[in-house]
Structure 1
Amino acid sequence: MKYKCLLLFSGGLDSMISAKILEEEGVKVTPICFESFFFSSKQANPCIDCHLMMIKEAGKIMKKEGFDFIATGEVLGQRPMSQNANALKIIDKWSGLDGLIVRPLSAKLLPPTILGSGKYSISGKSREMQLKLAKKFKIKNYPSPAGGCILTDINYGKNIKRLMDIYPSFGENDILILRCLLR
């Protein structure tokens, strides 16, 4: 049986390689991109809460559109706070999609999923294996790794909350203006 998956696609190298790995395994891959006022650029690095929200939304689409599973370009240990084994387990459990979230780059290091145990055991911040796979899959144009999400800056997060408390009408346009001012 040929599987169909919905791939959370950031546009980065890890997402590109994940798509190629899945296609090589005979999976029909459909990329999905999420946009937020906080990470709408190529520099996206959502934390657990934002990532869980994206997984849940992708899960709704998966069920509605008849996909078999969700895939991501996550690498175990690449982001110590949000891509550690415990955080990934929490996302799997809280999303209600346990076993249906495939992380091809680190699959051998994680519990088996709908596709089994996978071929790759990439972990940590080194990009050495990803660069080898990029060469193998002839991926030449890809962006530099992303920086952190602006909401993880403790002062920025506090100030946004304060603004929302003080000005009930604070909304999307205000956030866009702040992003422009802080560049």
Structure 2
Amino acid sequence: MTTALAMVSGGLDSILAAKLVKDQGIEVIGICFKSYFFNEENALKIVKQIDIPLVVVDFSEEHFEMVKNPKHGHGKNMNPCIDCHAMMMRRCGELLEKFHADFIITGEVLNQRPMSQNRSALDIVKNECGIGHKILRPLCAKNLKPTEMELDGLIDREALLDISGRNRKVQMELAEKWGIKDYPSPAGGCKLTEPNYSVRLRELIEHKEDTSKVDLDLLKIGRHFRLSKDAKIISTRTQEEGELIKPLLRPEDLIFQTRDYNGSTIAIIGEATNEDIEFAAKISGRYCKGKDEKMVSVKYGKYGDPLDESIEIAPATEEEINKYILN
């Protein structure tokens, strides 16, 4: 029996491509890649709608090293889509033998994304992944040259599609026809496409060579400020973020809270200067119910210890916030 590995991101296009091939009587196995910037949550949900198995591949460390310096550069934000797709396809190629599969399916659509899915970009990915002859793009196959799978009769080219461009009308009609109802919006799920996260990530890479998973997870929480090279200030925005940040903090990190008013949890990550401590206290005053007071009392100390230190300070001004905030 012919078998195909379908690269499933969790989005609509990839699952439609898998369904299109499955309907030709081909066994389809979903492959989802997991990194520090996207996960398998949506993919696990969507494969159930077309009844195919899913294999999750964690390539976080390899992927992050590529994100720092991609051969073909970043997109609008920190998304290195061309290099990312080539890396995924290369890893899929390594799985062909393991699963006794004949070829790889992707949900790419010609010209849907101006930078990463134009004909030139698709050709780059095909050439650089090392297994380009094994890649089938079912949704736009008729706009491309026939693959060896089509020429060898493993799949019927006439049953494939010729979708092109950014209009998603055809995909939405197919989803309705096939009963696929639960799917995320396009480009959802990858933190590297988000402007604010990308600003923080770029700034983190510039300041810290030995970036850890904890550092990357902290980028998703609160407001971020940078005064000195070795420390960053984070201000939580909600009670939920206050809980999310706790398992990411280390005993040496400093915590700030206003003494007389409810407000944000403020943390300094890294080696704080006296200037950092003073500004963190000012931020604590800014994001509490006493922000309009001339002076507030702020207590602070190392995470997990009593907040025994105290400072009287004026809440940060709008000008000060805008000077140091990273998003």
TM-score of the aligned structures, taking structure 2 as reference length = 0.50
Q: Is 1:97 the counterpart of 2:131 in the alignment?
A: yes
SS at match of 1:31: strand
Q: Which residue of 1 aligns with 2:94?
A: 60
Q: Is 1:132 the counterpart of 2:173 in the alignment?
A: yes
Q: Which residue of 1 aligns with 2:13?
A: 14
Aligned residues: percent identity? 44
Q: Which residue of 2 aligns with 1:26?
A: 25
Q: Is 1:179 the counterpart of 2:220 in the alignment?
A: yes
Between the two proteins, the alignment pairs up a number of residues equal to 178
SS at match of 2:161: coil
Q: Is contact 2:17-2:107 (8 Å) kept? A: yes
Q: Is 1:112 the counterpart of 2:153 in the alignment?
A: no
Q: CA RMSD in A?
A: 2.4
- 1:163 pairs with 190, 198, 207, which one? 207
Q: Is contact 1:72-1:104 (8 Å) kept? A: yes
SS at match of 2:123: helix
Deviation of 1:157 after TM superposition, in Å, equals 4.9
Deviation of 1:14 after TM superposition, in Å, equals 0.9
Structure index of larger Rg: 2
Deviations 1:21-55 (A, max 9, x none): 0011121100011111122365xx76111111111
* More relative contact order, 1 or 2 (CA 8 Å, 6+ apart): 1
Q: Is contact 1:71-1:104 (8 Å) kept? A: yes
CA distance in 2: counterparts of 1:127 and 1:53, whole angstroms: 26
Deviations 1:117-136 (A, max 9, x none): 45200011111100111122
Deviation of 1:150 after TM superposition, in Å, equals 4.0
Q: Is contact 1:39-1:46 (8 Å) kept? A: no
Gaps of 5+ in 1: none
Deviations 1:116-164 (A, max 9, x none): 2452000111111001111222222222222485435564453132133
Q: Which residue of 1 aligns with 2:296?
A: none
Taking structure 1 as reference, are residues 177 and 123 closer, same or farther at Cα in structure 2, changes over 3 Å only?
A: same
- 1:121 pairs with 158, 162, 165, which one? 162
Taking structure 1 as reference, are residues 103 and 46 closer, same or farther at Cα in structure 2, changes over 3 Å only?
A: farther
Amino acid in structure 1 at the alignment position of 2:93: G
CA distance in 1: counterparts of 2:9 and 2:123, whole angstroms: 21
Amino acid in structure 2 at the alignment position of 1:159: E
Q: Which residue of 2 aligns with 1:35?
A: 34
SS at match of 2:149: coil
Larger deviation, residues 173-182 vs 118-127: 173-182
CA distance in 2: counterparts of 1:25 and 1:114, whole angstroms: 17
Q: Is contact 1:75-1:105 (8 Å) kept? A: yes
Q: Which has a greater percent of strand?
A: 2
